[in-house]
Structure 1
Amino acid sequence: MRLVVIPAESCAALIGHPGVFMVSPLLREALLSMTDQQKSRSAQAVDRLRAVVIDELIEAPDQSLHLPEPRDDRLRAATELLRLDPGQSATLAELGRTTGASARTLSRLFHDELGTSFIRWRTILRIHHALAHLTSGRSVTDTAIECGWSNPTSFIDAFTAIVGQTPGRYQATLDPRGM
């Protein structure tokens, strides 16, 4: 994980919510260079690298992994149950019984408040958890099972559709020796 500070005055052109982006080779190298603890850089060099990072982030496609937060108490309770155990296979009806809402009400709230379906929201939540598992070195199969997929193939398909690459390729890009 690399942490880069971007001054607030430089963020106007960036998206206004947390996001996940496809990282171009140039962006990757600029981030690695900016965060390399072994090299000391002048303030001007860091500023130039930061400008490259910002330019690349502006152009990078957002991978639509933003999970909006609900306002309704019933929906917030349902999403919190899912966050606590993203691998669970609870239906809207089961979540509704636990949170005091009908499946129909929860479905409407997902669409009205979060702008997405229950299935899509849960899939993105699971992908968030899968990214963390894969980053920590867990296998694709273990990640699929822990995050709620019935088999690795369906996980790979969902991951690829949302992230834009297979889980294996994603893991390979985490290791500089794998590139």
Structure 2
Amino acid sequence: MVEVPVEECGGVARRPGVFAVSPLLRAGILALTGGKERSPEEAGRVRAVVLDELGEVPGESLHLPEPRDDRLRVVSELLHEDPGRDGTLAELGRAAGASERTLSRLFQAELGMSFQRWRTVLRIHHALFRLSEGESVTDTAIACGWSNPSAFIGAFTALVGQTPGRYQAGLRGRGE
């Protein structure tokens, strides 16, 4: 883990994201997380390079806002427990004690996105974890609620910017 003092975070994204890692950024992160002891000045210089590189890399937002409204929290908890759950918003609304229309409005008003968009981002969050654990693309697709691997690959690529297979290969290449 690279710790960055808050006063140095000016140009860094304020929300979680997925970034393409340049060779320089990768080397900087490895230098900061490797076993070599560095003086505070040296670590600060390397960290400055890492932050400069992060500022140059376009990131795809994976921000998943969490609801405050009790009815939305019920829906959120159900889907966090089982991201593959394929219930409609109307079905989930019955468990939450709210109509589909009410929940739809709440998703837009409170979370700034549609229910479908929110659920897709949630599923991608779960997929990233499963893929990092070495689970196959097909098993991940099914566990996270996609009807087939092709639909999952399309959604993953649209949000993350690379296919799930390439994402996994990148993890293996970094030894993570």
TM-score by length of structure 2 reads 0.93
| Partner of residue 13, structure 2 | 15
Deviations 1:97-140 (A, max 9, x none): 00000001111111111111111110110000000011011111
Deviations 1:129-155 (A, max 9, x none): 000011011111111111111111111
Evaluate the alpha carbon distance shift between residue 95 and residue 177 of structure 1 in structure 2; reply closer, same or farther with a 3 A threshold: closer
Aligned partner of residue 9 in structure 1, secondary structure: helix
* Structure 1 residues 149-168: aligned runs within 5 Å: 149-168=146-165
| Partner of residue 96, structure 1 | 93
Alignment of 1:63 onto 2:60: yes
In structure 2, the gaps of 5 or more residues are none
Task: Let me know the Cα RMSD of the aligned residues.
Answer: 1.5
Alpha-carbon distance between aligned partners in 2 of 1:75 and 1:129, rounded to the nearest angstrom? 19
TM-score by length of structure 1 reads 0.91
Alignment of 1:143 onto 2:117: no
Alpha-carbon distance between aligned partners in 2 of 1:124 and 1:143, rounded to the nearest angstrom? 14
Q: How far is 1:34 from its partner?
A: 1.1
Alpha-carbon distance between aligned partners in 2 of 1:31 and 1:171, rounded to the nearest angstrom? 19
Dislocated runs of 4+, deviation >4 Å: none
In structure 1, the gaps of 5 or more residues are none
Identity of matched residues, %: 66
